[in-house]
Amino acid sequence: MIERGVEEVGRMQTAGLDNADRRALLVRMEVVRHKLFAYSHTWIADLVDQRGLDDIYGSVPEALSVLLRSSGSRAGQRIRLAMEFGERTSITGERLEPLSPNTLRGAEDGLINEEHQQIIRKFFWRLGSKVDIETREKAEAQLAELARQLSPDHLKAAASRLYDLIDPDGDDEDPTRVADRCYVQFDEQGADGLSRGKMVVDSELRAYIEAVFDKWAKPGQANPADPPPVVDPPDDADSGDDRPDQSSVPTDVTDDSQRAEGEPVNEEAAARARRDHRGKGRRQHDAMKMVFRQMLASGKLGMHRGLPVTAVLTMSVKDLEAASGHAVTATGSLVGMRDAIRMASHAYQCLVIFDNDERPLQLRRAKRLASPDQRIVLIAADRGCSFPGCTRPATWSQVHHIEEWAAGGNTDIEDLTFGCDRHHPLVGPKDTDWATTKAGPDHPYPGRTLWHSPTTLDPLRRGLLNHYHHPDEYIRPIPELPLFGPLDSTDTETNDPETNDPEPDNPGAARE
């Protein structure tokens, strides 16, 4: 009967269907496939438990590979998934839930696929016995909820953040022993003048290097094939402060955030980027060469998206006082609190004050609020692209006006957010575009940016948040509130205030 139903579906001709029906058919078949795969975990677990594979030669994985005509490694994966997500039977014959019951239920609903399940299984394999049963159950429920709404790539990133929250200090290892494993090493120079090297670096050095690469390893930057690059003019407005002069550092004129509102793109810079055929590794090599040369000569690194090229860290007062946990860099990396405190001891520091809902109140500096200061506030508040599920850090993002500047929008902190180069262009005035609004004071996350999907994805255009850059929210401080609202258009009633936001009246609906 199963085979006959599949054959009937396979004989269906899609040439006469419109694209909406083709998409619906493909999605429904994927849901069915995910359900069948979920059911198979219990079938395999029962076979193993009842010794149903003993009549086939070899080990259990070998026997399963023969039965299913799969590779040995694939059979091993199926067994590991069955042990985690398959139902079990006690010695007395009582039926028991799987180790990860919420994930299995999501898979049986067709919303959690095999890639999601592998990520969750590996999460608990790595976690081992570091936590108690209650913490494990809460983590599994949270991961299952995330898996229902996130793609596997985004779930992997979210799971990594959740792991760092559960085990913020990692293995309790002597910091000196950890530091002793860091090194930078070059082999002997070859006849062609090239040297092969390798390195293991700590989180502090990685934070510095990422900040440099974000600016100088972009196409068109520090390209040896180009003539000497243009230099930044002296910053007369800031000539009185103690920052280094920028006059001897190449200009990043391809960076949109460096241009004033309405200023045309520099055609020379665009041409430099187009004729740059270097790969990423070569660009990073040339960037490091340029930086070391400039550091030895003058120590000046220029500006990036309106801010000096530097490592920007945000941390909570609680973690700072406890000297535990992690700080988050503007590039999205995590820096251990001990390293963050050491970095801050010799940094140009500023203080951003937030209210209890993590909304920025003010920026304390010796000078009045200016564009670079607003970016610092946004880095501390948004930490990265605000598009739901996006993992791109602040240094990869543009400042986006919630209400378009041309339509009277203000360049105030409460009217700004971050959108990366991929998601920022998605915002537009049509129902088939994305739109952005700010959550109101009665929302569980007031002041945060809500993204409203096109009507083709969600006819109700319910607002969605990005929790990735705020990993504490993965612990669900509001138990009744799912992190992400369902996109099922048939679910027209819900008590979820995060997904019941009214359809946007086109605020933020035009491209910057």
Q: Does the pLDDT at position 199 exceed 70?
A: yes
For residue 243, is it left (φ>0), alpha (ψ between -120 and 50) or beta? beta
**For position 444, what pLDDT does the model report?**
84
* Model pLDDT for residues 63-98, shown as the tens digit of each residue: 999 999 999 999 999 999 999 999 998 888 899 999
Closest by CA position to 328, among listed 448, 468, 143: 468
**For position 487, what pLDDT does the model report?**
35
Residue 122's pLDDT band, with cuts at 50, 70 and 90, is very high
* Model pLDDT for residues 200-253, shown as the tens digit of each residue: 998 888 988 888 888 888 888 888 877 664 334 334 434 444 444 443 344 444
**For position 500, what pLDDT does the model report?**
41
Closest by CA position to 252, among listed 292, 299, 309, 294: 309
* ∠ Cα 498 157 314 (to 5°): 80
Identify whether the C-beta of residue 204 lies closer than 8 Å to the C-beta of residue 343: yes
Q: Does the pLDDT at position 371 exceed 80?
A: no
As a whole number of angstroms, the distance between CA 223 and CA 282 comes to 10
Identify whether the C-beta of residue 443 lies closer than 8 Å to the C-beta of residue 498: yes
Token pair listed for 472: 């504490």
Taking residues 295-302, what's their average pLDDT?
A: 58
CA distances to 109, 307, 313, 379, 392 from 373, rounded to whole Å, are 47, 8, 14, 10, 21
As a whole number of angstroms, the distance between CA 360 and CA 472 comes to 17
Q: Does the pLDDT at position 272 exceed 70?
A: yes
* Model pLDDT for residues 142-198, shown as the tens digit of each residue: 999 999 988 898 899 889 888 888 887 666 667 787 788 898 988 876 777 678 899
HEC profile of 96-124: ECCCCHHHHHHHHCCCCCHHHHHHHHHHH
Residue 354, helix vs strand vs coil? strand
Of residues 250 and 57, the one with the higher pLDDT is 57
As a whole number of angstroms, the distance between CA 465 and CA 340 comes to 28
Q: Does the pLDDT at position 264 exceed 70?
A: no
Of residues 346 and 474, the one with the higher pLDDT is 474
Identify whether the C-beta of residue 88 lies closer than 8 Å to the C-beta of residue 96: yes
| Helix H or strand E segment including 75 | helix 72-85
Q: Which range has highest mean pLDDT (148-162, 288-302, 316-330)?
A: 148-162
| Helix H or strand E segment including 214 | helix 203-216
The pairing of strands 334-336 and 307-308 is: unpaired
Identify whether the C-beta of residue 438 lies closer than 8 Å to the C-beta of residue 432: no
**For position 378, what pLDDT does the model report?**
84
Closest by CA position to 406, among listed 318, 509, 289, 497: 509
* Model pLDDT for residues 23-46, shown as the tens digit of each residue: 888 999 999 999 999 999 999 999
What are the start-end ranges of the H helices in 224-363?
Answer: 267-274, 280-297, 317-322, 337-344
Lowest mean pLDDT: which of 43-52, 300-309, 323-332?
A: 300-309
As a whole number of angstroms, the distance between CA 255 and CA 389 comes to 24
